Amino acid sequence: MIELPEGWELAGDGQALRCAALPARHAFSTRMGGVSEGLYGSLNVGMHSGDAGDRVRENRERFRVAGAFDRVWIAVHQVHGPDVAVVDDAGRADREQADAVVCGARGVPVAVYTADCTPILLADRHGRAVAAIHAGWRGTAAGVVARAIESLARQFDVAARDLVAAIGPAARRCCYEVGEEVVAALEQADPGPTRDDREGWQAVGPRRPHVDLPVLVRRQLRAGGVPAEFIYASGICTLCRADLCFSYRRDGQASGRMVSVVQL
pLDDT above 70: residue 181: yes
Residue 11 scores a pLDDT above 70: yes
The residue-averaged pLDDT of 58-78 equals 97
Between CA 112 and CA 13, with CA 70 as vertex, the angle to 5 degrees is: 75
Say whether 154 sits in a helix, a strand or coil: helix
Average pLDDT over residues 44-48: 95
- Distance CA(162)–CA(168), nearest Å, equals 20
Query: Which contiguous run of DSSP H or E holds residue 27?
Result: strand 25-29
Percent residues over pLDDT 70 in the chain: 100
Residue % of the chain over a pLDDT of 90? 91
State residue 193's pLDDT score: 87
Residue range 167-186: average pLDDT? Answer: 97
Look up residue 74 and give its DSSP letter: B
* DSSP of 211-229: E-HHHHHHHHHHHTT--GG
What are the contacts of 75-81 at 24+ separation with CB within 8 A?
Answer: 75/101, 75/110, 75/111, 75/112, 75/113, 75/132, 75/259, 76/101, 78/112, 78/113, 78/134, 80/136, 80/138, 80/139, 80/142, 81/138, 81/139, 81/142, 81/144
Report the predicted TM-score, pTM, of the whole model to 2 decimal places.
Answer: 0.98
| 8 A C-beta contact, residue 75 and residue 110 | yes
* pLDDT the model gives residue 237: 97
Q: For residue 141, what is the DSSP state? A: H
Quick one: pLDDT band at residue 1, thresholds 50, 70, 90?
low
The rounded distance, in Å, linking the Cα atoms of 169 and 227 is: 21
Q: Which class is 8-263 in CATH?
A: alpha beta
* Cα distance between residue 258 and residue 47, in whole Å: 11
Give the SS3 label for residue 160. Answer: helix
Determine contact, residues 73/110, Cβ cutoff 8 Å. Answer: yes
* 222, pLDDT greater than 90: yes
